Structure 1
């Protein structure tokens, strides 16, 4: 089903629709996917496939698709939620409790390529997410691929603790959906969204290690919500690691295929592709448009 979503994104991208219209088509497609197949998409959505062209309309639509997927995840977990068509300086997703717990949250979905290893705090936008919460929402939740979070030390962890931004992963969300975890009048998920504040209150956490990765602590919170031993949760998480390894090999095969295709180019075709890759014609068009306006 994930492959069908990619095909849909490429098809919509080729239609050259306005972004809002393209987003609505993707929303309709995702929301109509049967729940069992949708859960398979959640398992894979955190990794942007290499066949999605970098810095393209396809990639922007993929990012928006991940917002729509996360919003549906929240709905399956018993919250009212929707992905917004908002500005660049606002949250992409909002959700609120409908089981009487009287809270709301903003969320941001992050996806990365396996080839993108050098990431910094700006890629995660923890501070921005805290600001986007505003006065209306109690919590802010970031969802990114588990094994693409910094695994040792990073400022994103101290920032998350300082501003109470919950750091979750697509793997956490996927496992909770797999176990059919849903907020009800007898089960609140509020403590999960508030996990960073609870970790920050731990007196054993000194300022010196506030930048240390605390995902293992989040694992414990999620395992508790699911109602399984920490060991069992670790085993489930490890299966996701194996799945990513398999996906990585598939991506390598695709890129090797691209290399073989390029090796077969004629000289003229190679020149044409290089010009396209450097976006030289687009730059010429932009400058021409600018100076034309000045000349009028």
Structure 2
């Protein structure tokens, strides 16, 4: 039995089209996305939110780089994590400012933090430390003690990276959508107060880390802090690791199907040389290879 349901996959397709259809006036569209997504989760419950969290890390290949669709999709992922933190018990706000601030702000009686969501195309091969905004998030705390960047697990460096050194140095939690799904499911089982305490423990764990580029050491500390917090988390963890594998397969299929359609469209163009030239300019074969290489990098196994 699959963890990611057909309904969640269909809902993903709906939102890809919806974001494409809405694109035009960014300010108006962003507010409509937030309102519609909030209403959907309110009506359909936690299952709808889990579906978004499990699948939103991959930017659709059909969205052009730096397009209005891509920018609106980025805002959509911010709304998704905003809804996730609300489900965990935080008072959360999606900020409207466009520069020098984080995108999401969360508060509770015990502590507060800022958050940002990251998503990448599966075909994107070159990612650097600036893509993850760790240093920027430290600057955007604006007096809050903590900050977090939420990323798709399979796109994070699994061996060494400066982002882990920056995370420990600047007390910025690099986390994943998978960790968030575990958090909101835990809130359902154990209560929001316990989920809030769990995240606080993870934030404090980052504060105590020795700065290092070592990805394994970083994820061992984060994952162990979660799994040692409550024994009921281990089953949630196991299920969400399966969901992660499923999400990779679903996202790869979605991307490859788009590129297949795009290749066919190009090949229906007139002359052979023109076809070859367009194929070369679009780098479809390279993107297919990059997508096929995406796999679970095992960071959730570190403990």
Q: TM-score range by the shorter chain?
A: 0.7 to 0.9
Q: Give the conservation status (yes or no) of the 8 Å contact 2:164–2:213.
A: yes
2:68 pairs with 1:54: no
Which residue pairs with 1:131 in the alignment? Answer: 139
Kept after mapping to 2: 8 A contact 1:161/1:196: yes
Q: Which runs of 4+ in 1 moved over 3 A?
A: 224-232
**Counterparts of 1:121 and 1:186, CA distance in 2:** 29
Does the CA contact (< 8 Å) of 1:76 and 1:182 recur in 2? no
- The aligned counterpart of 1:11 is 21
Gaps of 5+ in 2: 1-10, 283-303
Unmatched segments (≥5 aa) in structure 1: 201-206, 279-296
Cα distance in 2, alignment partners of residues 56 and 93 from structure 1: 22
Q: Paired residue for 1:217?
A: 221
Higher RCO structure (Cα 8 Å, ≥6 apart): 2
Aligned length: 258
The 3 A distance-change label for structure 1 pair 117 and 225 is farther
Structure 1 segment 118-267 matched on structure 2, within 5 A: 118-135=126-143, 137-179=144-186, 180=188, 182-184=191-193, 188=197, 189-200=199-210, 210-213=212-215, 214-225=218-229, 227-228=231-232, 233-234=237-238, 236-266=240-270
Q: Contact 2:226 / 2:233 at 8 angstroms: preserved in 1? A: no
Q: Rg bigger for which structure? A: 1
Measure, in 1, the Cα distance between the counterparts of 2:93 and 2:196. 22
Which structure 2 residues correspond to residues 55-70 of structure 1 after superposition, within 5 A? 55-70=66-81
Query: CA RMSD, aligned part only?
Result: 2.5
**For the structure 1 residues 228 and 199, does the alpha-carbon distance in structure 2 shift closer, same or farther, using more than 3 Å as the test?**
farther
TM-score by length of 2: 0.78
TM-score (norm 1): 0.79
